[in-house]
Structure 1
Amino acid sequence: MSRAEQKAATREKILDLAAERLRREGLAGNAVHRLMRDAGLTHGGFYVHFESKEALDIAALERAMESLGNLASKVPADLPRAERRAQMAARYLSRSHRDHPETGCPLAALVSEVPRGGDMFREAYAGAVAGALMGRQEVLGPTPPGEDIALLALMMGGLTLARAIPDKDLSDAVLRACRDASALLAEAYEHRRGDEA
C-alpha cells in the first residue's frame, strides 16, 4: 500500500468512527483526543487529515448522510404517494431507529445541537436538510411548498422526543402518535392536491 493509499485509508477509518459517534453522542462525541485514541492513532495525526474539529464534524455529517441513503427509495414504488409517505414515516419513527441512533438519521440526532455549532457546520446541516428534502421529491415526486418540510419536521421531532423519554411505554406512544399524524398529514395533503387539480 502506498503512502497516499495508507493516508486515505486512515482518513476513512477516522470518518467512519466519527460519523457513528456524531449520531450517537452528538458534537461532543468527536473530541479529537478521544476519537484518535479509539481509532488507534495519535492525537497529533489528526491534523494530517482535517484542518479543524469543525471540518471533521462536517465530513462526519456528510458520511452519515451518505451511509443512510435516500429513505424514500426504500418504500415500494407501486403504492399511492400518500401511502408511500406514511410508510416512510413509519420506518423512520420505529423502535429500531429510536434505539440505534449510531446507524440512524444524523439530522434528528443533531437537531438540538446545531444552533450552538459553528457557522460552517450550521451551513452543512442546512445543506443536508435540503438534500434530504430533494431526495424525497426525486423519489416521491414534486410536492407543494411546505408539505415535505412539515412531514420531515414531524418525523424528526417525534424521533427526538421519543429518544429523550426514558419510559419505554411513553416513548413508544410518542412514536405511534407521530406515525399516525404523519399518515393523516400525508393523506390530507393528497386530498388537497386532488381538490386543487
Structure 2
Amino acid sequence: MARYGKEHKLATRQRIIETAGRRLKRDGIDGSGVAALMADAGLTNGAFYAHFESKEDLVATAVADQLRDQRERLAAAPPGRAGLDQIIRAYLSPEHRDSREEGCPSAALLDEIGRCAEPTKQVYTDSVLAFIDDIAARLAPHDPRSARVATLGVYALMVGTLQLSRALADQELADEVLEQGIRNAMALLDDAPH
C-alpha cells in the first residue's frame, strides 16, 4: 500500500507540474495563483504544500520540466545542421507562436523569470544551458563549448522574435517577423564556430 501511495504522490506531483507549466505560459507567473494552478490539476489548495515548498518552488520545477521537454524534442530532430534548421523553423512557426500554452517557457516567461528569486533563476540558467549545450554539440561536435555563446545568441534571437511576433496586432507583419527571424537565426548559425 505504501508503494502505491508513493507512486500516486509522484504521479500527482507530475500532473501539477505539467498543468502548471501550461497555465504559467498562458497567464504568466504573477497571473497564476496557487488556487488556479491546483484547480487545473484537479486538486485543492491544501494539497499544494504536500508537493512543493512554495509557489516559487513550483515555478522553478515547472520551467525546468518544460525546458527538459524542449531538450527531448531537440534530441528527436535529425542530426547536424538539418536538425537545427528543422528546430528553428518549428520554433519560429505561426503554430508555435499561436500555442503559447504548449510552447517555449522562455518566450512566455523570460521577463518574469528575470524577476524571480535567485534559486529560480539558477534552475532556469542550468536548464537553458543544458538545452543550449545540446545545440552547441550539433554545431561543434568536437568542441561544443566553443559554440556556446553563439548558440545563446541564436536562442536569444529566436525567443525575442517569437515574443515580438506574439505581441503584434498585424498578423501579416507578425508572420513576416517570424520569417525574418528564421533567416537571421540561420545566418548566425552559419557564422558560429564549427
TM-score, with length taken from structure 2: 0.86
User: 1:85–1:186: 8 Å Cα contact kept in structure 2?
Assistant: no
Q: Distance in 1 between matches of 2:110 and 2:15?
A: 25
Matching residue of 1:134: 133
Matching residue of 2:71: 69
* Aligned partner letter, 1:171: A
Give the 3-state SS of the residue equivalent to 2:192 in structure 1: helix
Matching residue of 2:102: 103
Q: Distance in 1 between matches of 2:134 and 2:148?
A: 15
Matching residue of 1:13: 15
Is 1:54 paired with 2:56?
Answer: yes
- Change in CA separation of 1:170 and 1:13 when aligned onto 2, cut-off 3 Å: same
CA RMSD of aligned residues (A): 2.1
Please, which of 158, 165, 188 is the counterpart of residue 155 of structure 1?
158
Query: For structure 2, which runs of at least 5 residues remain unmatched after alignment?
Result: none
Percentage of identical aligned residues? 36
TM-score, with length taken from structure 1: 0.84
Q: Distance in 1 between matches of 2:128 and 2:19?
A: 22
Q: Distance in 2 between matches of 1:173 and 1:36?
A: 38
Give the 3-state SS of the residue equivalent to 2:114 in structure 1: helix
Superposed CA deviations along residues 56-100 of structure 1, whole A, max 9, x for unmatched, are 1111112212222345434432x6x3x554433222111111011
Q: Measure how far apart 1:43 and its partner are.
A: 1.0
Is 1:176 paired with 2:179?
Answer: yes
User: 2:84–2:135: 8 Å Cα contact kept in structure 1?
Assistant: no
Structure 1 stretches of 4+ moved >6 Å: none
Please, which of 165, 170, 186 is the counterpart of residue 167 of structure 1?
170
Greater Cα shift, 24-33 or 120-129: 24-33
Q: Measure how far apart 1:54 and its partner are.
A: 0.5
Greater Cα shift, 148-157 or 180-189: 180-189
Superposed CA deviations along residues 139-186 of structure 1, whole A, max 9, x for unmatched, are 342244521121111111111111111221111011011111112222
Superposed CA deviations along residues 114-140 of structure 1, whole A, max 9, x for unmatched, are 221122111111112211111112334
Q: Distance in 2 between matches of 1:103 and 1:148?
A: 23
Q: Which has the higher contact order (CA 8 A, sep 6+)?
A: 1
